[in-house]
């Protein structure tokens, strides 16, 4: 059968595009009319997006600065939930994607959905079509879909994907939410200090100079710092910006990334937040993969790629290399001394009872609860510390400005 790409109009006159499969052009016309659309132009197409992209790569390199369609996590959640609901209601995956693409969304979601629809209609599996957008659909996402296709339970796989990403989104939201107030305090505090140093302090300096007052050491230091910021503030800001860019690049890959990630694990409170989040993510992802029929070794390889902390990710990779029987992973994980004893013991119990997925659910709940507790602790501790620091800076500036006034007052009373 051939594939025909068409442009048509709905009964309301709206423009529609799509791909249908038929024996000939007349059959394609009948299919389009059965969908309640009026065909305007029909063109036979025999190549999918995957085939076309493979041919293009033979002749030219893909430019690094070209932006590909990408969904945000919230958009991915919405798409996954809607697709899961439509497939669970009895729709075929092709019809479900056609339904979603009919909204004519001009954003990245619309572009991705239309491409997926065209791929499915032309015979590509959903898992292979998802690989066209690696920036949106992770290895975990693709493999869960592939496992669902292999087992014949694609609706169940899509439901598990939705549950997994909803929990990931919820965990990320908790951490971000806990940092909002401290960041507001820092931004307001830094802004207040900079404003005082650049606007208020110079006015006091002029007044003190006209009065010929003898300034104490703290006030002189404050005036010198203000003069320095007025003269070289822009240079300092550019240097700080440049250093931050270089530092961010250094910690994003290579040895710098490993050093930074190892340091994260040793920082009080922050290290516990990072590890608890990683352990919960490990258990949740691993359990989801096993539930969907992915075997232990491939599942560990996928989990390793989804862990953001390099130190913990590398330890999972080493444990995967140590696994010999393809089933027992508690002992290989214990050898690295990165994963806590409690997690190892709970995993070992799951192996003994044959209920690994159930044990991983308990581990996920345990470390999700611990993550919540540590985030609350971090917020409770961080807020007063930041307030004290900001108050100390502003108070120190105020005292430095008032010292000359108090000195002059004492001299007038003598």
Q: Report the distance separating Cα 328 and Cα 350, nearest Å.
A: 10
Judge contact between 4 and 44, C-beta under 8 A: yes
Residue ranges covered by each domain of the chain: 2-47, 73-137, 273-368
Judge contact between 158 and 77, C-beta under 8 A: no
Looking at residue 106, its pLDDT comes to: 65
Nearest to 270, CA basis, from 354, 381, 349:
381
Question: Exposed, middle or buried, 339 (CB in 10 Å: 0-12/13-18/19+)?
Answer: buried
Looking at residue 410, its pLDDT comes to: 58
| Sign of the torsion formed by the C-alpha atoms of 211, 216, 222 and 228 | positive
Token code pair at residue 245: 């860019």
Q: Report the distance separating Cα 222 and Cα 143, nearest Å.
A: 60
Per-residue pLDDT of 271-303, as tens digits, reads 888 888 888 888 888 888 887 777 888 888 888
pTM above 0.75, yes or no: no
Crossing angle for the helix pair 154-195 and 270-291, to the nearest 10 degrees: 160
Q: Which residues of the chain have pLDDT under 70?
A: 1-3, 23, 45-69, 104-106, 213, 324-327, 407-414
List Cα–Cα distances, 402 to 44, 202, 225, 409, in angstroms: 83, 14, 17, 11
- Which listed CATH number (3.10.20.30, 3.30.70.1230, 1.10.1660.10, 1.20.81.30) goes with 273-368? 1.20.81.30
Q: Report the distance separating Cα 85 and Cα 96, nearest Å.
A: 9
Nearest to 33, CA basis, from 15, 10, 14:
10
Looking at residue 151, its pLDDT comes to: 72
């Amino acid at each position: 059968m051939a594939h025909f790409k068409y442009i048509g109009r709905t009964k309301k006159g709206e423009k529609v595009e799509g791909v249908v499969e038929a024996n000939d052009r007349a059959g394609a016309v009948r299919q389009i009319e059965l969908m309640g659309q009026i065909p305007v132009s029909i063109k036979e197409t025999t190549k999918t997006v995957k085939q076309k992209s493979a041919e293009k790569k033979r002749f030219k390199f893909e430019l690094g600065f070209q932006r590909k369609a990408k969904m945000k996590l919230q958009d991915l959640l919405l798409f996954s939930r809607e697709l899961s609901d439509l497939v669970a209601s009895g729709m075929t995956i092709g019809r479900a994607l056609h339904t979603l693409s009919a909204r004519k969304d001009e954003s990245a979601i619309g572009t991705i959905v239309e491409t997926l629809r065209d791929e499915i209609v032309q015979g590509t599996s959903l898992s292979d079509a998802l690989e066209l957008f690696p920036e949106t659909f992770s290895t975990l996402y693709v493999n869960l879909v592939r496992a669902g296709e292999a087992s014949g339970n694609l609706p169940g796989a899509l439901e598990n994907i939705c549950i997994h990403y909803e929990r990931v989104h919820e965990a990320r939201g908790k951490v971000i939410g806990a940092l909002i107030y401290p960041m507001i305090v820092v931004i307001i505090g830094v802004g207040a200090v900079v404003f005082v140093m650049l606007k208020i302090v110079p006015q006091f300096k002029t007044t003190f100079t006209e009065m010929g007052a003898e300034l104490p050491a703290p006030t002189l230091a404050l005036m010198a710092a203000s003069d320095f910021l007025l003269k070289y503030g822009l240079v300092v800001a550019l240097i700080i910006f440049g250093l931050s860019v270089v530092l961010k690049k250094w910690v994003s890959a290579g040895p710098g990334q490993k050093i930074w990630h190892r340091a994260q694990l040793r920082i009080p409170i922050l290290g516990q937040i990072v590890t608890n989040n990683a352990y919960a993510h490990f258990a949740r992802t691993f359990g989801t993969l096993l539930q969907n029929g992915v075997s232990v070794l491939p599942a560990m390889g996928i989990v390793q790629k989804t862990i953001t902390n390099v130190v913990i990710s590398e330890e999972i990779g080493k444990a995967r290399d140590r696994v010999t029987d393809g089933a027992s992973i508690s002992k290989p994980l214990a050898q690295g001394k990165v994963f806590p004893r409690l997690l190892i013991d709970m995993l070992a119990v799951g192996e003994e009872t044959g209920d690994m997925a159930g044990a991983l659910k308990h581990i996920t709940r345990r470390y999700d609860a611990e993550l919540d507790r540590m985030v609350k602790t971090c917020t409770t501790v961080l807020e007063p510390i930041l307030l004290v620091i900001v108050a100390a800076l502003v108070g120190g500036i105020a005292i430095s400005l008032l010292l000359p006034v108090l000195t002059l007052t004492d001299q007038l009373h003598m």
